[in-house]
Structure formats: C-alpha cells, structure tokens
Amino acid sequence: MQLHADNLTVERGTRTVIANLTFTANAGEALLLTGPNGAGKTTLIRTIAGFIAPLSGKIALKGDVGDRNISELCHYVGHLTGVKANLTAEQNLAFWAEYLGGKESRAIAERVDDALDAFGLLALADYPAGLLSAGQKRRLGLARLMVAERPIWLLDEPTVSLDAASTTLLAGLIQRHIANQGLVIAATHLPLGLEQPSYLCLGSAAPATDGPREGAAP
C-alpha cells in the first residue's frame, strides 16, 4: 500500500496553506510532519482524511485496498478527543469499537479491554470520562487506534498533554503498527523517539507568520 499526494494545493479561506506539495508514503513507514505553527500540518492531515477538498491535485492510494477510500482506511486523531463526558471510559471505547470496526476477528469487549490496558486506563474503565484528567482523556482518545484495525493512522499533535511514559508508550504502538505494514502520518513538534521516521517539513517556502493561524475558521 502506498499513499501518494500529487501536486496538492489546499486553500483555507483565501490563504493558500499548502502549495504544489508532492510526496509519497509507503506502508511500514512513519511520516512525521514538521514545521512552524501555521505551516499547514493540520490542514494536510485533514485533507488526507477527506474532510477538506483540495483546490487542485489529488491524494491517491495504490495497492491492495479494494474499493475503500482513505477515509474508511484511516484513524483520525485530532486536537479533540471524541470522548463523551457522560459515558464511562469503557462505554466510550466500546462505542467506537462497534462504530469504526470492520471485520475484526476478536470480540468488542476483548478489543476494548486490550486498548484500555495498553493505555493504562483499565483501573478507570468504569469512571465517567468527564472525571478524567486532560492527559487521561487524550489517552482514551488515542486508545481508539487499537479498537478498530485500520492501516493508516493520521495523528495531529498526538503527544499534547501526554506525560513522558505515555509518549513512550505511544511511540511503541506506532512502532508496532509500522512493523505490521501500517502507515502513520503524524504532525508533531517533538521527536517521538521512533526508530527510523521520515520527515516532511512544511511551510519552509512561504512565511508562516502572516495571515490567519492554522486551523482558524475561514
């Protein structure tokens, strides 16, 4: 499987955030997006996820993916965690396991337990998610990666509010995912401690200081 972006141009409002970007990411690769604030990291990830239509150019998948598009093959973990305050941690994950799941062989309860365990949330499984700390909520949001099997992970600043131990844990999961021929595209300011990541530096050509900030509504 290979993700190929060809001559991609994306506008937010009237500002061209990404101009004529071409890159290729292969299965088994971790691609880290770097660049200053406003360089278009979030925009690029949201474009790959299919939320934003590019002005020109296209993103295509090559390889054995059937008729599914990138949206259905990716996990998107953005700035918001997608966690419901009034459901317990376990109910939150069980919902996503059922809602995002495809043809996983293991039962939902088993997948949820494993994901909670991996992120150290097993003891908090029956707590309402609204009572969790910011870092715990973020871990619960990331635990979604493990309850449904999807080859592409799109992570937007996944380490925000995570402590050092959780960051190492996340790096381990990313490493395992790419060892299983997954593809990870992550926007980050920190080196995640991955073994051999590729880098894509955005915004080096255009000054990033003028115009609205990244992610601002048009």
Partner 1 sequence: MSGFLALLRRDLMLAVREGSALGTALGFYLMVVAMLPLGLGPDLKLLSRIAPGVLWIALLLAALLSLPRMFEADHEDGSLEVMATAPLPLELAVAAKALAHWISTGIPLALMAPILGLMLNLELALTPALVATMLAGTPAVSFLGSIGAALTLKARRGGLLLALLVLPLYVPTLIFGISTIGFASVGQDGFAASLLVLMAVSVASIAVAPVAAAAALRLQVS
DSSP 8-state assignment for residue 181: T
Contact residues for partner 1, defined by CB under 8 A: 46, 49-53, 71-72, 74-76, 78-87, 91, 95-96, 98-102, 141, 144, 217
3 state DSSP class of 115: helix
Q: Which residues of 72-81 are buried (b: 16+ CB within 10 A; e: fewer)?
A: ebbbbbbeeb
Closest distance of CB 46 from partner 1, Å: 8
Closest distance of CB 66 from partner 1, Å: 12
DSSP 8-state assignment for residue 53: -
Closest distance of CB 156 from partner 1, Å: 10
Toward partner 1, which CB reaches closer, 57 or 82?
82
3 state DSSP class of 26: strand
Toward partner 1, which CB reaches closer, 87 or 206?
87
Toward partner 1, which CB reaches closer, 32 or 74?
74
Closest distance of CB 158 from partner 1, Å: 13
Closest distance of CB 148 from partner 1, Å: 9
Toward partner 1, which CB reaches closer, 35 or 137?
137
Whether residue 190 contacts residue 32, with contact meaning beta carbons closer than 8 Å, is answered with no
Question: Mapped to the 3 state alphabet, what secondary structure does 56-101 carry?
Answer: EEEEEEECCCCCCCHHHHEEEECCCCCCCCCCEHHHHHHHHHHHHC
Residue 129 to residues 68, 89, 97: CA-CA distances in angstroms? 32, 5, 16
